[in-house]
Chain A
């Protein structure tokens, strides 16, 4: 079975440019999470969706960041305009969202470098 799919795997862009990261969760999962990982701050939850609805976006650093989930099989995280301090690895994760197992399955990540 395919796991969580993220694209691109690597992105290098110049400051001020728009960046769009993409995620396809595991089929059947109803919760989707966006994380950012840096050496400075570790693994941070940015936002998560339940049944395509944003539930908690308190981790989104500022208005330059936005996330959408137009359907159950696709989500985007957009940064506009990008800044060098946005350089990080961005992970998408999905889960079944039941009270039985709360395990989140992580994608391989997108390594973003903003110069």
Chain B
């Protein structure tokens, strides 16, 4: 029979456009959040992190926004490039322990 897998949300953007990837987290006690990028055949790679005492943090071409009121995290990628095509995961951590809880991921496809 047909196997049922996770249905990854997919975001398709044109090269050069900005991308916004969203993530809802579940634990209101989480105080640290990370975005990872996973390219096909590779392990997840760190993109950017943010602590709960911040609302916004910027990196090179990326910005993470945190809204603790609605437990929402977003990753903005400016001027999206073909090399940005990957699955993006958010992860949360509570209270300084080492364990990260990962979301299901979003597939970003960059169209030329």
Chain A residues within CB distance 8 Å of chain B: 4, 31, 33, 38-43, 45, 48, 50, 55-56, 91, 93, 95, 97, 99, 101-109
Size class of the B contact interface (CB-based, 8 Å): 20 to 34
A40 CB to closest chain B CB (Å) equals 5
A41 and B6 in contact, given A91-B43, A106-B43 (Cβ under 8 angstroms): yes
Q: Verify B46–A42 contact, CB threshold 8 A.
A: no
Across-interface contacts of B36 in A (CB, < 8 A): 106
How far apart sit A102 and B30, CA to CA, in the bound complex (Å)?
A: 12
Q: Verify B43–A108 contact, CB threshold 8 A.
A: yes
Across-interface contacts of B34 in A (CB, < 8 A): 102-103
How far apart sit A93 and B42, CA to CA, in the bound complex (Å)?
A: 13
Q: Verify A97–B89 contact, CB threshold 8 A.
A: no
Shortest 10 CB-CB contacts between residues of A and residues of B:
A106-B43, A39-B5, A99-B96, A31-B98, A43-B102, A106-B44, A103-B46, A42-B104, A102-B93, A109-B43
How far apart sit A91 and B100, CA to CA, in the bound complex (Å)?
A: 14
Q: Verify A104–B100 contact, CB threshold 8 A.
A: yes
Please give me the residue from chain B that is nearest to A92 by CB atom.
B43
A105 and B46 in contact, given A42-B105, A56-B99 (Cβ under 8 angstroms): yes
How far apart sit A93 and B38, CA to CA, in the bound complex (Å)?
A: 14
Within 8 A of A (CB), among B65-112: 89, 93, 96, 98-102, 104-105
Contact of B6 among A42, A101, A102, A109 (CB under 8 A): A42
Across-interface contacts of A48 in B (CB, < 8 A): 98-99
How far apart sit A101 and B42, CA to CA, in the bound complex (Å)?
A: 22
The verdict on B10 contacting chain A, using a C-beta distance below 8 Å, is: no
Q: Verify B43–A97 contact, CB threshold 8 A.
A: no
Q: Verify B100–A40 contact, CB threshold 8 A.
A: no
The verdict on B25 contacting chain A, using a C-beta distance below 8 Å, is: no
Given A43-B105, A48-B99, 16 other A-B residues pairs in contact with their CB atoms under 8 A: A4-B43, A42-B6, A43-B44, A45-B102, A55-B98, A56-B99, A99-B96, A102-B34, A102-B49, A102-B93, A102-B96, A102-B98, A103-B46, A106-B36, A106-B43, A108-B42
